[in-house]
Structure 1
Amino acid sequence: MRYTLRQIEYFIATAETGSITLASERVNISQPSISTAIAHLEQELDTQLFVRRHAQGLTLTPAGKALLVEAKRLVEHAQQLYEVASEANDKIRGQLTLGCMVTLAPMIMPELSHAFTSAFPSTKVMQVVGDHDTLLQKLASAEIDVAITYDLHVPEGFDFVPLASLPPHVLVGEIHPFARLSAVTVKDIASEPLLLLDLPISREYFLAIFMQEGLTPHIAARSPHQDILRTMVANGYGYTLANVRPRSDTAMDGRKVVRVRLAGDHRPMVIGLVSPKERRKSRLIELFENHCRNRISDAYIPGMVAPVMEKRIRLD
């Protein structure tokens, strides 16, 4: 056998991203190394794996598609060797691919992943960020092992383990009239310019807050990027609705934002772990899920003001 497992991993990354540049970013290796690995595989296997189109990136050939299926099995079997050895000598090692909801990732993932790999130095956590639908697709295709996301839409075939509950709130700039209030109602905000977080499932969740009150919001702008909305809010464009509570009260440009409680009985977003029901969980994944249960709760969430802490701040 004149190819390596590493070359196979580079091939998988390129096939799934459709780009040598994106594959390079995913596996944290140089683009020339990716190109060399693919060229070596094509030469060794005596077949073309990709069709190279400048405008559309790389597309798998029929042979490449067939190889991708077997390549994933090969990597999975290789990973199982580590698991067998780990169970035999009681040492935890191996790689886990963690998906995380894009609105949660900047706060949760760095501390959570670093704490786990510090506790188990022979492990590695690969991080994948996406919206809710994208994470479910990647779980179904085995591109990620487990995901941290919300409970808004978890289809049949997936398990959801709740970790922490985040009710919605209103975010405004520090000179906005609402900034001086302890709470506002949906009726209070309906006619104000709403800057809507435009992500699948999240978008419908926020609009449903108005629908259950028989109101229609005045949507002034939309963006799938949470940081852009926070900066627009800080600059006086309007307000936004959110569930995440970053510990920082500043936007990306340094201006301040103010969190205001949304009065009424509104469905919270519940942070939790999602994984496929039928897929066997390795010891590494089970340990990581237990790690998440220990480090994410209503009392503590990495990078955020947790719900219990929020209540104490309001009481003080």
Structure 2
Amino acid sequence: MRFTLKQLSYFIAAGEARSITLASERVHISPPSISSAISQLESEFGVQLFFRHHAQGMSLTPAGERFLIAARDLLGHAQRLHDLAHDITSSVAGPLRVGTFRTFAPLIMPALFKDFLDQHPQVQMQFFEDDEFELVSKVRRAELDIAITYEQEGIDLQFERLALLPTYLLLSASHPLATRESLSLAELADQPFVLLDLPVSREYFQSRFDRLGLRMNVIARSAQPETVRSFVASGLGFSMLTSRPASRIASNGGKLAYIPMSDDTPPMKLGLVTAKNIRKTRAILAFEDHCRRRISTNDIPGMAPL
């Protein structure tokens, strides 16, 4: 169907006034515009809406009377949609789907989630964790409203940086070099490496070796950060990570050491990913503000300080 709500509103004004001239005065639109709208509606629906009386104005046909009732009802529904949209965008309520990179999801999300819902109990917040590639894909497909993850080059989404996370070397606390203040990757390159095997992450860690002309000697790999930590704590090998769990005890009870890298390694950029050119709800805007207050380079919930 090819008609507009504006045409319906002009028809309603004319139907209530029983005069195009009076309707024109009420809605501040020229009489020809109202006449044109009525003619287009009659043509579109194939019905005569008015009897035209040359000296006494106009009156609704029986079809026009029924059409007037339906038009009022339709415009009422349209207004309720407008009111609903206003409620969604002007109050912190409604659904909110947040995705987080799984390496730091168990660290930062519990505090962020609880504190946000304490402040905004009317938000129906859903939490998802995934790898970096999938998070970006889900934001692009509108399956997520916002994602907390690392910056990726070349994506067609909006990224707002919140914190810088330097890459560090992860060793067993009993490793001979675990007490060093810093280490270069070359000092460990001949030792077995435990790889966090996730899209984007594995390419990033491989690039650190390639940049220095070193070979990555992978002895074990896992998509679960805590599994990597347990392998390292057992003395199987070393690893590199960017998230820094506050606890230096692995799931298997082994102790860990976080050693800063002396190599010139650019830090990872942690931030918020959202779609471009969308009208954000109040819930999304409030969550963005919440993240800005809670996440910074030197203070990230659940993470050890630099």
* TM-score, normalisation: structure 2: 0.71
Residue identity opposite 2:276 in structure 1:
K
Within a 5 Å distance, the mapping from 1:201-240 to structure 2 comes to 201-240=200-239
Question: Within the alignment, does 1:170 sit opposite 2:169 as a pair?
Answer: yes
1:125-161 Cα offsets, whole Å, 9 max, x none, are: 1001000111111111111100000013451x20000
CA distance in 1, matches of 2:118, 2:249: 30
The structural deviation recorded for 1:180 is 2.0
Residue identity opposite 1:181 in structure 2:
R
CA distance in 2, matches of 1:181, 1:164: 26
Alpha-carbon contact 2:247-2:304 (below 8 Å) kept: no
CA distance in 1, matches of 2:281, 2:193: 44
Alpha-carbon contact 2:93-2:282 (below 8 Å) kept: no
For structure 2, which runs of at least 5 residues remain unmatched after alignment? 1-79
Q: Which runs of 4+ in 1 moved over 2 A?
A: 78-83
Residue identity opposite 1:268 in structure 2:
P
Using CA pairs below 8 Å that are at least 6 residues apart, which structure has the higher relative contact order? 2
SS of 1:232's partner is helix
The structural deviation recorded for 1:91 is 4.0
When residues 188 and 152 of structure 1 are mapped into structure 2, their CA distance, relative to the original with a 3 A threshold, is farther
When residues 294 and 83 of structure 1 are mapped into structure 2, their CA distance, relative to the original with a 3 A threshold, is farther
When residues 128 and 81 of structure 1 are mapped into structure 2, their CA distance, relative to the original with a 3 A threshold, is farther
Q: Alignment length, in residue pairs? A: 227
Residue identity opposite 2:142 in structure 1:
A
Residue identity opposite 1:96 in structure 2:
L
Alpha-carbon contact 1:79-1:94 (below 8 Å) kept: no
Alpha-carbon contact 1:160-1:272 (below 8 Å) kept: yes
1:20-79 Cα offsets, whole Å, 9 max, x none, are: xxxxxxxxxxxxxxxxxxxxxxxxxxxxxxxxxxxxxxxxxxxxxxxxxxxxxxxxxx99
Which residue in 2 is equivalent to 1:70? Answer: none
CA distance in 2, matches of 1:301, 1:220: 31
The structural deviation recorded for 1:217 is 1.8
For structure 1, which runs of at least 5 residues remain unmatched after alignment? 1-77, 311-316
1:251-279 Cα offsets, whole Å, 9 max, x none, are: 00221111111112101111100011122
Which residue in 2 is equivalent to 1:85? Answer: 87
* TM-score, normalisation: structure 1: 0.69
Within a 5 Å distance, the mapping from 1:71-220 to structure 2 comes to 83-85=85-87, 91-155=91-155, 157-220=156-219
1:287-313 Cα offsets, whole Å, 9 max, x none, are: 11111111100121010023xxx2xxx
SS of 2:190's partner is coil
Question: Within the alignment, does 1:260 sit opposite 2:264 as a pair?
Answer: no
1:106-130 Cα offsets, whole Å, 9 max, x none, are: 0011111111110111112100100
When residues 79 and 192 of structure 1 are mapped into structure 2, their CA distance, relative to the original with a 3 A threshold, is farther
The structural deviation recorded for 1:101 is 0.4
